[in-house]
Structure 1
């Protein structure tokens, strides 16, 4: 099974739309997991044109009637999905404890806007980063391949960070 993993899209508050490259990367996936900070159900509807979507509530989401956490079983693998609000941000030890609490083999989180693949003991911690609002890195999503108990995770860069151009003439007096 091929799974597209995405997080921290922040649409329409911080970005206007999902980059087209995401749709290209996800074109053959069997399902999509969104780790929160969606901000609009239109994001889920757009992604559902590709494949079924499971999403969780992020700390910047209004009430979208999503759960804080989900557990999905794919073949022989239990996957936990949560936004991952822990402090300090991205603390892998706390994320590991969330995985143990959910009794999962893989925990997918977002929140940091930075992609990560890290294994701690028997748990694989994944973060797809952000395709729209990366922090100190390129925009990313993730592909997760599951074949029985075999798991492969790949961080996919979808472009370079973009920022609004400044008109420096406004600073001249």
Structure 2
């Protein structure tokens, strides 16, 4: 199964997302969003077009927060996947590894930090897909996840030449 994980989109409409992200989501079996849609309109557009598993983020409006949960969990083949917006991390992501174990998942996908992270904690994978629109200390990104049986392959996908939330033009 092919999954596109994204989050921290911070736009109000689907067509405000980068074209490359929309193309990738069109090819996916499942889209996972880690929150911060910002608008109910974007959530509804994505729900209509894609098979979506999502949580709300700290920047989401009340309509989005009423529709979505803070934590989600799904089984894909032989892999349990958890989704949260943010953990209680300070300087490292160890607590997210513990959160994954608490949820009983093999892969925990989280957002809020607007940059790509991929860490192993023993038999647990912790992943932040980054942000396709407002990256921080990173490039605009998402994650492509292929699940085959109990095997998980994660690929970092650069979406656009946006750095730290700004378009960069070198002269």
TM class by smaller structure: 0.7 to 0.9
Aligned twin of 1:163: 166
Unpaired stretches in structure 2, ≥5 consecutive residues:
none
Aligned twin of 1:4: 4
Aligned twin of 2:56: 57
Paired positions, count? 161
Residue pair 1:5, 1:33 contacting (<8 A) in 2 also = yes
Q: Tell me the secondary structure at the aligned position of residue 37 of structure 2.
A: coil
Structure 1 or 2: larger helix share?
2
Aligned twin of 1:37: 36
Q: Distance in 1 between matches of 2:87 and 2:151?
A: 28
Residues 157, 80 of structure 1: alpha-carbon distance in 2 compared, 3 angstrom cutoff: same
Q: Detail structure 1 runs of 4+ shifted over 3 Å in the superposition.
A: none
Q: Distance in 1 between matches of 2:79 and 2:40?
A: 28
Q: Is 1:109 equivalent to 2:110 in the alignment?
A: yes
Residue pair 2:161, 2:167 contacting (<8 A) in 1 also = no
Unpaired stretches in structure 1, ≥5 consecutive residues:
166-173
Residue pair 2:87, 2:95 contacting (<8 A) in 1 also = no
- Give the alignment of 1:90-129 within 5 angstroms: 91-129=92-130
Residue pair 1:114, 1:137 contacting (<8 A) in 2 also = yes
Q: What do the CA deviations read for 1:75-104 (whole angstroms, capped 9, x no partner)?
A: 100000000242426x31111111111110
Q: What do the CA deviations read for 1:15-70 (whole angstroms, capped 9, x no partner)?
A: x8211111112221001000011111222233345421111011111221210000
Residue pair 1:5, 1:34 contacting (<8 A) in 2 also = yes
Aligned twin of 1:73: 75
- Structure of greater Rg: 1
Aligned twin of 2:142: 141
TM-score normalized with structure 2 length: 0.87
